[in-house]
Amino acid sequence: MRPCPAESVDFDTTQNLYIEGDNLEVLKLLQKSYFRKVKMIYIDPPYNTGNDFVYADNFADPLARYKEVTEQTTKSNPETMGRYHTNWLNMMYPRLRLAANLLRDDGVIFVSIDDVELDNLKKLCNEVFGEENFIACLVYDKNRKNDAKYFSIGHEYMLVYFKSTATMNERGTVLRMTKEGIEEVKAEFERLRKLYDDDWGKVNEGLKLLYSSWDKDDPRKSLARFTRVDEKGPYRDDGNISWPGGGGPRYDVMHPVTHKPCKVPSRGWIYPNPQRMKEEIDRGRVVFGQDETTTPRIRTNLFEADKEVMRSVHFSYAQTASQTFNAIFDNRRVFENPKSIDDIKKLVEYVTVKDDCDIILDFFSGSATTAHAVMQLNAEDGGNRRYIMVQLPEVCDEKSEAFKAGYKNICEIGKERIRRAGAKILEEAKQANSQLKLGEEPKPLPDVGFKVFKLDSSNLKIWDDSLIDNEDIATLFDRIDGHLDGLKPDRSNDELVFEILLKMGYPLTSDLSAFDLNGLTVYTVENNEMLICLQPGVTAEHVEQMAAYQPKKIVLASHSLADSSAKANAYYLLENQNIELKTI
pLDDT tens-place string over residues 184-213: 999 999 999 999 999 999 999 999 999 999
> In terms of residues, how long is the chain?
584
> What are phi and psi for residue 126, nearest 5 degrees?
-60, -40
Residue 337 to residues 1, 2, 318, 333, 367: CA-CA distances in angstroms? Answer: 29, 30, 7, 10, 9
In which band, very low, low, confident or very high, does the pLDDT at 441 lie, cut at 50, 70 and 90?
Answer: confident
pLDDT grade, residue 82 (50/70/90)? Answer: low
Section 156-166 average pLDDT: 96
27 has a pLDDT exceeding 70: yes
Q: What is the mean pLDDT of residues 491-510?
A: 92
- Say yes or no to pLDDT of 68 above 80: no
**Cα distance between residue 59 and residue 66, in whole Å:** 11
Residue 78 vs residue 101, higher pLDDT? 101
Candidate from 53-57, 317-321, 423-427 with smallest mean pLDDT: 53-57
Q: What percent of the chain has pLDDT over 70?
A: 88
Q: What is the pLDDT of residue 469?
A: 66
Pairing of strands 134-141, 313-315: parallel
Which band of pLDDT confidence, cut at 50, 70 and 90, is reported for residue 480?
A: very low
- Is the model's pLDDT at 467 over the cut of 80? no
Tell me how far the alpha carbon of residue 76 is from its chain's centroid.
31
pLDDT of 101: 97
Give the phi and the psi of residue 128 in degrees, each rounded to 5.
-75, -45
Handedness of CA 27, 30, 36, 42 (dihedral sign): negative
Q: Quick check: 459 pLDDT over 50?
A: yes
In the chain, the percentage of residues whose pLDDT exceeds 90 is: 66
- Helix H or strand E encompassing 361: strand 359-362
Could you give the CA distance from residue 294 to residue 296 in angstroms, rounded to a whole number? 6
Would the pLDDT of 50 be above 70?
Answer: no
User: 66-80, 402-416, 447-461: lowest mean pLDDT where?
Assistant: 66-80
pLDDT at residue 54 tops 70: no
Cα 502 to Cα 455: distance, rounded to the nearest angstrom: 13
pLDDT for res 473: 59
* Mean per-residue pLDDT of the chain: 88
Q: Place 481 in a pLDDT band, splitting at 50, 70 and 90.
A: very low
Bin 96: left if φ > 0, else alpha if -120 < ψ < 50, else beta: alpha
Q: What are phi and psi of 517, to 5 degrees?
A: -125, 90
Burial class for 104, CB neighbours closer than 10 Å (0-12, 13-18, 19+): middle
Contact 294, 118 (CB under 8 A): no
d(CA 101, CA 236): 46
CA–CA gap between residue 389 and residue 450 (Å, rounded): 10
Q: 528: alpha, beta or left, given left = phi > 0 and alpha = psi -120 to 50?
A: left
- The model's confidence at residue 461, banded by pLDDT at 50, 70 and 90, is low
Residue 56: predicted pLDDT = 56
Confidence of residue 391 (pLDDT cuts 50, 70, 90): very high
Taking 60 as the threshold, does the pLDDT of residue 320 lie above it?
A: yes
DSSP 8-state secondary structure symbol assigned to residue 459: S
Q: Mean pLDDT across the stretch 315-343? A: 90
How many other β-carbons are positioned within 10 Å of the β-carbon of residue 296?
24
